[in-house]
Amino acid sequence: MSENGHKTIELAGSVTVRDLATATSTSPIQVIKILMANGVMANINQMVDFDTAAIVASELGFEATLEVEEEVKETETGEIPFWRQIIANEDSSKLVNRPPVVTILGHVDHGKTTLLDAIRHSEVAAGEAGGITQHIGAYQVEHKGKLITFLDTPGHAAFTAMRARGAQGADIVILVVAANDGIMPQTREAIAHARAARVPIIVALNKIDRPDANPDFVKKQLADLDLVPDEWDGNTMVVPVSAKQKTGIEDLLEAILLVSESMDIKANPSSNQIIGTVIEAELDHGKGVMATLLVQNGSLEVGDVILAGKAVGKLRAMFDFHGKKIRKAGPSSPVQVMGLSDVPEAGELFQVYSSEKEARLIAEERKAQVQQKSINAPKASLESLFNRIQAGETKELRLIIKADVQGSLEPITTALNEIEKGDVNINVLYSETGDIGENDVNLASASKAIIVGFNVQADSNAKRLAEVEGVSIRLYEIIYRLTEDVEKALKGMLEPEFKEVQIGKAEVLAVFKISKLGNIAGCRVTQNEIRRNGKIRVIRNGEKVFEGDISSLKHEKDDVKEVRQGFDCGISLKGFESFAKGDILECFTLERSG
């Protein structure tokens, strides 16, 4: 029972009219009538958002509170993905060793593709002399009787996308560095991705056969980035290879097995919790949706019902990486499947369900949750940093720094290190010259970091992606402004920044004087809608005459939350009555940004 004597009910972020009627112990017809009175036309199976449902509940004598969702997929301890948590909770007596899953990263011209081809063709499992008949984004090789699974990712973005969705697929990262070129911008980026994913790195020192190769210089560069070679008493295995000459491949495979033996790479093939990751997916006009999956726990079989993100389906057929039809695949097996209803995103977690009905129900819930979250998705920002520190949610400020020239990066990093930080650690995940791009946003999203730009811009694709992923981008032209903002954020003194979001427009057709209320503007909505919780800017002859809050919004005689385009309404404003016929009322809201 709430303080005002109303009964309290818990409601989800979105709820159907039928479920709302059940929760309030009333008939769906009564709920529909109340919705209509508030300007919302709905049928019994339609979803309404929490705010609308709360108004209906209030009119029925209930106080609604937002249900706290248990987010199965995103309850991570530190950076441990959900599928690893599932395996950790399995009966240890049923766990068996599984092949390590390896992904190859590196600078664009350093020989990733050539190295993949060298590995693929030199160590294809015995009996498969015909080689690989089709490319499915993942494959397996055999070395000394043990299998190794390779993910042929097209670049860093796919790898980051996996981790960003809590479905990190790789156990080990091979970092390809050319012995003649050394560390390049994309190499640093790859290291940042691997570290953010908490995955061990093996360095493949490629092009060792080149006359201009300088392995010692590259090893020094690696040591400067805290990847100290094992021969220098460090923890990073550096393997000299020549992908072109196909030399050193055996040593690299041996290094993978050595690193995997020091890790706990296990799974339960007989588990009833069958999960894995989507490697890639596409729509084939002849076959329908074709998805490449990596099984990570349990065994996947033809006929299983799977849910991958918001895509559902019963597996009609399954192929191994040679394109050969199979009926069953165990942990660390890459397979191509047919039968999904939609194309899932790369990096999504998939799970087997007992019935298609249950899987479709969860898919619909996820779609509704995604819509709800996109409205008010939280993001790592300087403004929220102090609150997160106080709440014990973080002890680290993660930054990605982009600057116009190399000479700017060092003073920025030095200035940040000199800030009085208390117990909070400032961690610069990645710093490089150049404008802010999509890869920077992907890394920030995966690592819950903030992007700071100095004398640079964010390209349009990066801005759009940042908006979707909830990544904060802050741009500066003066170093001390940058450090001042970080310092204020650590002390909880940084004022939030807001951006204006246009909602709609209305034109004043008449002005009515009402006792006790003052002047009311009789309006017609000419664009989109007017919202009760919005702000109003009064424009007269092209100039602003007032800006402030709405005190009441009526449609006919009823108080309403919103009035849509083409409808008439009455508007009164706090602190303003001097309406004139022909005034344009612009409705907008202020949203936190930066």
Annotated binding site for GTP: 106-113, 152-156, 206-209
Pairing, β 62-66 against β 7-11: parallel
Where is 461: in which H helix or E strand? helix 460-469
Binding residue numbers: 106-113, 152-156, 206-209
Extract the tokens encoding 542.
């092209």
Q: Is 255 helix (H, G, I), strand (E, B) or coil?
A: helix
DSSP 201: E
Cα–Cα distances in angstroms (integers) from residue 248 to residues 119, 187, 252, 309, in the given order: 10, 21, 6, 40
Pairing, β 568-573 against β 543-555: antiparallel
Rounded Cα–Cα distance for residues 322 and 335 (Å) = 9
* Residue-wise DSSP of 127-179: T-TT---S--SEEEEEETTEEEEEE--SSHHHHHHHHHTT----SEEEEEEET
* Residue-wise DSSP of 50-94: HHHHHHHHHHTTEEEEEPPP--TTT--STT--HHHHHHHTS-GGG
Would you say the C-alpha torsion 238, 244, 250, 254 has a positive or negative sign?
positive
Cα-flanking dihedrals φ and ψ of residue 82, to 5°? -60, -40
Cα-flanking dihedrals φ and ψ of residue 543, to 5°? -120, 145
In 446-542, the DSSP E strands lie at: 450-454, 473-476, 497-514, 518-531, 535-540
Q: Is 403 helix (H, G, I), strand (E, B) or coil?
A: strand
Q: Which residues lie below 8 Å from residue 526, measured CB to CB, with a gap of 6+? A: 505, 506, 507, 565
